[in-house]
């Protein structure tokens, strides 16, 4: 759950097991990206092995601190559901619970004096049907009751079911780029054994690699020479190209195949290569990111990128121009064929629409919002868990939530509303392509696909905002928004006046 204290709890567990020293506490050891530590959030999964003695036996526990990525969960036998008692169940809580259904250990932190413990326990029981006796009341910040967690983990979560004597089956669930060794892969060994010098094959790409280094994260890399079924650790395969590491890939020993486990542009065109490298590193370990190179007549070379937020660009310190977010639209033609359009430049012009297109469809989502009931009115203008909170479900166009919906939701609810959504397929919609023209020349990268009802408002807003940021020229600059040949809005930037007397000043 976002901002619920997962990384702080991970630090306390690492302290209890002696994995880190006390002077390293309160440092969010598993948050390694700069932006994660600066903002106190987890963007990508991190892992660490822990050794823990319980009832005379020593256990090896593999901790994965994750922002809840389904492929990271696939490497786990169980999970801890963390709920902030001062906030209660959020929309993300419900969504992530169902991702990890049947393998959850609920934990209820009581970090704040305002924590409404009894109410939130009731929410957990009523919403998820969980046994409240499994709930631990803890405070990761102060360390209260954190020592009760690992015994419950050992008793409630089953050990890995893999067989060390079976052929190797290794699951790649995370990776990152190291300047000296290239791509470092995090793998869970499902079956068999993997050791340094082994030759393994990717089930996805069928490329062959030799293991040059292997070990566990403790919390940094500790070479062990091998990993066996049930262990999680790092594997270095001398991958030099980031695209070779596919999250969710299965690796097996050479000759022993197994069944596999189930628009941005640089501000400075000269920085294209630098930004290209940043994007490659980003896509290496984030399955939520999709990239397609693109060329704009106005802005030059760039990329059309799909991702969950702009924090990725913060990490690699890239200066970019971010254009209007778009979603894929579906075009149904008279001959029964269909086509998906992701770029406004591919959208049919009005004359083609009139004789060749039967219907336009846009992607829809089922949005779940949880908020205090006093904010219900303002949130209903924008688009119950207990007597003080309500759960609202809306069917919304995906295009409405990929821009500033989340920011507006937080603003109107004073930060108390939470939001999650799931895919609902495509639905017919009256959408049109709006062009932006500078001195009657269309700027392809600034075109947008909008619902017809929004064109007037958005068109005027864009023209006005551009007129405020484009500097004056020696000639008049006309900014227009249009649908086909119909002008929606216009703003004019007056030409600079020449000072013809500047050279006539007497001395």
- Contact predicate 89/385, CB 8 Å: yes
The verdict on 95 and 182 lying in the same domain is no
For residue 31, pLDDT over 60 is answered with no
Residues 275 and 350 occupy one common structural domain = no
pLDDT band for position 42 (cuts 50, 70, 90): very low
Domain-ending residue, one of 322, 347, 369: 322
* Span 142-173, pLDDT tens digits: 888 888 889 988 888 888 888 999 999 999 88
From residue 275, alpha-carbon distances to 285, 321, 342 in Å are 17, 12, 22
| Tokens 């004597």 found at | 165
Q: Are residue 390 and residue 481 in the same domain, yes or no?
A: no
Number of alpha carbons in the 13 Å side-chain half-sphere of residue 449: 28
Summarize the confidence of residues 308-322 as an average pLDDT.
Answer: 53
Please tell me the distance from the alpha carbon of residue 111 to that of residue 238, in angstroms, as a whole number: 44
Domain boundary among 301, 322, 343: 322
Residue 420: pLDDT over 50:
yes
Residue 255's region, left for phi above 0, alpha for psi from -120 to 50, else beta, is left
Same domain, 17 and 144: yes
Give the C-alpha separation, 238 to 243, whole Å. Answer: 13
CA distances from 444 to 214, 276, 434 (A): 48, 21, 10
CATH of residue 301: 3.30.70.870
Q: What is the CA radius of gyration of the chain?
A: 27
- Report the share of the chain in percent with pLDDT over 70: 68
Mean pLDDT of 299-311: 58
User: How confident is the model at residue 396, as a pLDDT?
Assistant: 84
Q: Collapsing DSSP states into helix, strand and coil, what is residue 317?
A: coil
Range(s) of the domain holding residue 336:
329-428
- Are 119 and 21 part of one and the same domain? yes
3-state secondary structure of 22: helix
Question: CA angle, corner 230, sides to 224 and 231, nearest 5?
Answer: 25
Residue 13 inside a domain? The answer is yes
Whether 449 is covered by a domain: the verdict is: yes
Give residue 110's pLDDT. Answer: 47
Question: Is position 408 within any domain?
Answer: yes
161 in any annotated domain: no
Q: Are residues 10 and 145 in the same domain?
A: yes
Residues 439 and 417 in one domain: no
Residue 72 lies in a domain: yes
pLDDT in tens, 210-259: 999 999 998 889 999 999 999 999 999 988 777 788 878 889 998 787 66
Residues 6+ apart with CB under 8 A from 73: 66, 79, 99, 100
3-state secondary structure of 329: strand
Same domain, 60 and 148: yes
Q: What is the DSSP string of 144-155?
A: BTGGGHHHHHHH
Mean pLDDT of 277-298: 59
User: Are both 48 and 115 inside the same structural domain?
Assistant: yes
Q: Worst-scoring range by mean pLDDT, 131-140, 174-183, 368-377, 417-426? A: 368-377
- Please determine, for residue 386, whether its predicted confidence score (pLDDT) is greater than 70: no
Residue 499 included in any domain: no
**For residues 439-452, average pLDDT:** 87
Which helix H or strand E contains 406, and what residues bound it? helix 405-412
Report which of residues 96 and 177 the model is more confident about.
177
| Residue 241: predicted pLDDT | 77
The mean pLDDT value for 301-311 works out to 58
- Mean pLDDT (the chain, rounded): 76
Q: How many domains does the chain have?
A: 5
Which residues 6+ apart lie within 8 Å of 501 measured at CB?
none
Residues 415 and 373 in one domain: yes
User: Which of 90, 123, 156 lies at the terminal end of a domain, its last residue?
Assistant: 156
Q: What is the pLDDT of residues 322-345, one digit of tens each?
A: 666 677 889 999 888 998 887 787
In a domain, residue 163? The reply is no
Beta carbons of 332 and 340 less than 8 angstroms apart: no
Ramachandran assignment for 317, one of left (phi > 0), alpha (psi -120 to 50 degrees), beta (any other): left
18 pLDDT higher than 50: yes
Domain membership flag for residue 417: yes
């Amino acid at each position: 759950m976002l901002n619920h204290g997962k990384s702080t709890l991970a630090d306390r567990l690492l302290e209890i097991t002696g994995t880190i020293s006390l002077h390293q506490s309160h440092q969010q050891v598993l948050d390694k990206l700069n932006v994660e530590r600066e903002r106190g959030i987890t963007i990508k999964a991190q892992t660490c092995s822990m050794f823990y003695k319980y009832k005379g036996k020593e256990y090896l526990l593999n901790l994965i601190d994750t922002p809840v990525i389904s492929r990271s969960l696939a490497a786990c036998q169980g999970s801890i559901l963390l709920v902030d008692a001062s906030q209660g169940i959020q929309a993300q809580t419900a969504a992530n619970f169902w991702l990890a259904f049947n393998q959850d250990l609920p934990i209820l932190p009581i970090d704040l004096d305002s924590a409404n413990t009894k109410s939130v326990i009731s929410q957990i029981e009523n919403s998820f049907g969980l046994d409240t006796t499994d709930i631990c009341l803890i405070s990761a910040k102060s360390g209260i009751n954190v020592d009760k967690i690992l015994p419950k983990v050992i008793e409630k979560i089953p050990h890995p079911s893999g067989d060390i004597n079976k052929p190797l089956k290794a699951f790649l669930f995370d990776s990152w780029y190291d300047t000296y060794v290239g791509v470092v892969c995090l793998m869970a060994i499902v079956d068999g054994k993997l050791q340094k010098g082994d030759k393994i094959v990717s089930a996805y790409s069928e490329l062959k690699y030799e293991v040059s280094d292997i070990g566990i994260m403790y919390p940094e890399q500790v070479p062990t020479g091998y990993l066996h079924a049930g262990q999680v650790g790092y594997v270095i395969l001398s991958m030099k190209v980031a695209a070779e590491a596919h999250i969710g890939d299965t690796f097996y020993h050479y000759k022993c195949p197994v069944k596999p486990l189930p628009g941005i542009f640089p501000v400075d065109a000269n920085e294209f290569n630098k930004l290209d490298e940043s994007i490659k590193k980003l896509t290496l370990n984030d399955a939520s990111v999709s990239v397609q190179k693109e060329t704009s007549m106005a802005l030059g070379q760039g990329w059309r990128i799909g991702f969950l937020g702009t924090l990725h660009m913060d990490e690699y310190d890239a200066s970019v121009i971010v254009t209007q977010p778009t979603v894929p639209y579906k075009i149904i033609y008279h001959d029964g064929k269909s086509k998906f359009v992701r770029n406004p430049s591919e959208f049919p012009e009005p004359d083609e629409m009139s004789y060749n297109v039967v219907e336009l469809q846009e992607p829809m989502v089922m949005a779940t919002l949880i908020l205090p009931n006093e904010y219900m009115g303002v949130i209903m203008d924008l688009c119950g868990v207990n007597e003080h909170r309500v759960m609202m479900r809306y069917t919304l166009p995906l295009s409405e939530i990929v821009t500033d919906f989340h920011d507006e939701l937080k603003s109107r609810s004073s930060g108390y509303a939470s939001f999650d959504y799931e895919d609902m397929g495509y639905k017919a919609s009256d959408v049109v392509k709006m062009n932006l023209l500078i001195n009657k020349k269309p700027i392809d990268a600034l075109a947008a696909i909008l619902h017809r009802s929004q064109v007037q408002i958005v068109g005027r807003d864009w023209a006005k905002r551009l007129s405020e940021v484009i500097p004056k020229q020696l000639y008049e600059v006309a900014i227009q928004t249009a649908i086909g040949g119909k002008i929606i809005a216009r703003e004019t930037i007056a030409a600079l006046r020449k000072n013809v007397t500047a050279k006539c000043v007497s001395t």
